[in-house]
Structures are given as C-alpha cells and as structure tokens.
Structure 1
Amino acid sequence: MDLPLRIATYNIRKALGNDRRRDPERTLRVIAALDADIILLQEADMRLGQRPSALPAALFAGQPFRAISFDDDRDSLGRHGNAILIRDGIDVLATAHTDLPGLEPRGAVMADLAVQGRVIRVVGTHLGLIRASRRRQLAALRHFAEHAHISARLIAGDFNEWSDVAHLAGLGAEYTVLPSPPTFHARHPVGALDRIAVTDDFTLHSIAAALTPESRRASDHLPLVANLTLQAAA
C-alpha cells in the first residue's frame, strides 16, 4: 500500500525573526502549524560555546513531534545546526552525522526511520555559500546517504543555490530535486534556496512555501512543505 508522507524543511535562523526578536515559542508555533511527519531544521543551534539549542527542550512538551538525538556532548538539538523532528509514532532505527568538505564548517545529519512498517533514510543539511564547496558537499552527501538495502531516501535542507537546479546535479541521477518555489527572503521570496531531493520511491503530489503572517516574521526563510507518497514495494 502506498504511504502518504508530509515532509518539511525549514531554516529557523536560530529563532531570530525579521523583527529582530529571538522568539523560540513563535518558531515552534510555525513548525507545529506545518503538520508534517518529518521536519528537517537548519540553524537550529546557537553558533558559540556549547551550541545550545535555539529551541529549549521544555518547549517540546505537549507537542506531537520530538527531536531525534544525535548523541552530541553539547546541549544541541542536532549537529552543525541541522536537526530532525519526527511525528510521534515514527521509530528511529539508526542515526549518523558527518562533516562536509569546504571552507566553511558544514555538516549533515541522517536517520533511518520506520513509518508504518516502511523504512526510509532521511538526511538534513545546510550547504555552504561557495559553489565550489557545494559541489564537493553534494558528492559527499550522495555517498553519506547510500545504503545497500534502503532504497527510499530523501535529502533536504537549505542548499544555498540561487541558480538553476542543474547546479545540484552532484547528488547523482538517482535523486530528483523537487521543483521548489521561492522561500527566501521570507518577506519577499525570490530565491528557491530550500530544497527536497528524493529517490524514485517517492511521488510528489504538492510542494509549497508555508506563507503565513507568522512565518513571514519568524525567520528569513519560509518553510518548504511537500506532500509525498512512498510507493508500495514491488
């Protein structure tokens, strides 16, 4: 049986809004309103010191989703600012994280998830500002996401690519980069910086930027939300 999945990716800018207010509760309201099964976050941790989470753990109480732990020795939500939230009822089978090559410190997080008996691999990332670095990072992500037995794979995040999707070809032919609407800048979106790439196991039904008065203020990026179907195994 085909399995519907709602996936979101969102650069929360450390919960710092366009009104220059750091408001984690507002950020979490925007996330909750997405009603997604899996949410990939970028800039989810502060940059300095022990890199504490921009979203305090206490705020997750009562939410229908939780953050995946990546066994960091800091009080971080994820790694390199990348985090994965999942709806209650989804099981975590394995996790991993990696550093990505390039001049800037960048990385990615990965989780193998069991959703209603189906297993998928999900990778969240935030690519660099320099295109030469992004090319290397895309190739590294392709290898990081490989798995001999999990064919259904998804890579999402802030890809930082302003130009044509052809510049994301480093992910390889097995991934389709979904057609993304502009998500940056949240006040007047002109750049499709946030992306979701999937293997052929997924079918796209709709994809849109979550444009609301609160999401316009909560970050400089809008959340990107895709309604997908995981196809039944052959």
Structure 2
Amino acid sequence: MSVSLLAASYNIRKAVGGDMVRRPERILAVLAEFAPDIVVLQEADRRFGSRATALPIDLLADHGWTPVPFDSRPASIGWHGNAILAGPRIALRDRLKLEIPALEPRGAVLAEFEVSGAPVRVVGMHLDLSGLMRRRQAHAILDTIAGRQSMPTVLMGDMNEWRASAGCIADFAADHHIVLTGASFPATRPIASLDRIFLSDDIEAIDSGVHRSPLAARASDHLPVWVRLGLPLPPR
C-alpha cells in the first residue's frame, strides 16, 4: 500500500509577474489550479530590507497553506528565499535550514512530514548561477541528507542548470532518480528545464509534468513543476 501526494516546485519571482506587477493573490490562484499538497517555493521573500515574505501570511492561511517555520527573519517565510508550504493533510515533524557554499545569497531548506501515516522528507533549493558552485551546493545538500535518518526523500527546486544530465543534475541523480516534468522557463515560451525534481528510490512517481495555464504564464517567469507520488507506508 502507498499514500498519494502531489508535490510541486515553483519559482515565484517574489510574486512579480510578466506585467512587472507584484500580485501575490495571482500566485495563490495558480497553485489552486492544480492543488498540490506540498510546494517548495523559490524567491518567496523580498531581496532587500527585512526580507519580508512576498506572500502575506493571512493570504496563505485563507488559501489553506501553512508555511514551514524556519525562524530566519521575523517577516520572512523562508531562508534565502526558499520556503515550503504544507496543505491541511500534512503534519510537520522536523525542519532545518541548510547552509550551503555560495557566491550569491543562496540556501536550501529541509522539512520532514507525515502524510496519512507515511513519512516523507522534502528539500527545497535555489542553486547558484555558477556551475562549479552548483556542484558544491549539491554535495552539501546530499551530505546533509546522508547524515539524517533514512526516509523517502523528494528534492525540488530551481537548479539553474540548462544541461539535461550534467553538473549538479548528475550529482543528484547518482543516488536519486530524475522525475521528467518538462520545460518550465521562461513561462511564456518554456525552453529550459531549470526547475527539477529528484526522488529517492523508495518513492514511486505516478505522474508528473509542468503546470501550464494562461494565468501561470503571467504570474511569474517560471512555471510550476509537479509530481504525483506514491509514498510507502512503514511496516507495522
């Protein structure tokens, strides 16, 4: 037996759409179109000042989302712009901010959940523009996972890697399988698979893809990518 879960990754560009207008309600409307249970976000916080969330907390609550608390800055929901939102059926077990080597302000976040009795670890990331640094960041993330309790694991985020199977993609794929979603950038005419999902071998990918809609094409410069998971139930 397994538990079904819809997970997604979405670079929301601080809720600024192709019209250069910040409209957080538009991001939440895109998520409502395909209704994931868990979503990792990139560029979820504003870059300067207090790094306040681009998605107001009350608006998230109105749409049934609970941000995983990473206790970084009082007005922020993430860590270096990386955030994880959980829907109502998701119970949080643990969370962790990941310090990774970086030339730019970069980070990654990790949360461990229970979904209808099935455990799952979710890692969200936004990797560097530098190829060399991306590989160092990938190894830092994988080392952190290796040092924790074994658990079905989903790694998602904006890898900033244009190549299909080289660099950090090969590093993650060494111990995880790549979920084929499709091109997600730029949102208006996607040609690059910058947004990626990797799964540990104990998770089944039932279905996957890129969420395309007229609203999603306007809401950010990236489209969301998603995967329908079959999570194994632990033995009784």
TM-score interval (norm. to shorter)? over 0.9
Shift in Å, 1:169: 1.8
> Which consecutive residues of structure 2, in runs of 5 or more, have no partner in the other structure?
none
1:121 and 1:150 in contact (8 A); partners too: no
SS at structure 2 position matched to 1:135: helix
Q: Which residue of 1 aligns with 2:122?
A: 122
Q: CA RMSD in A?
A: 1.4
SS at structure 1 position matched to 2:201: coil
1:99 and 1:105 in contact (8 A); partners too: no
TM-score, length basis structure 2: 0.95
Shift in Å, 1:172: 5.6
Q: Are residues 1:30 and 2:30 paired?
A: yes
Shift in Å, 1:65: 2.3
2:187 and 2:223 in contact (8 A); partners too: yes
> Which consecutive residues of structure 1, in runs of 5 or more, have no partner in the other structure?
none
1:177 and 1:196 in contact (8 A); partners too: yes
Shift in Å, 1:108: 0.4
1:34 and 1:225 in contact (8 A); partners too: no
Shift in Å, 1:180: 2.7
Q: Which residue of 1 aligns with 2:145?
A: 145
In structure 1, distance between residues paired with 2:47 and 2:134 = 21
Deviation per residue, 1:3-51 (Å, 9 max, x gap): 1110100000000000111111111111222211110000000000110
In structure 2, distance between residues paired with 1:175 and 1:197 = 6
In structure 2, distance between residues paired with 1:62 and 1:148 = 34
Q: Which residue of 2 aligns with 1:45?
A: 45
In structure 2, distance between residues paired with 1:150 and 1:93 = 14
Identity %: 40
Deviation per residue, 1:126-163 (Å, 9 max, x gap): 00111000010110110122355332011100011101
Shift in Å, 1:230: 1.3
TM-score, length basis structure 1: 0.95
In structure 1, distance between residues paired with 2:146 and 2:35 = 28
Shift in Å, 1:176: 1.1
SS at structure 2 position matched to 1:215: helix
Q: Are residues 1:186 and 2:162 paired?
A: no
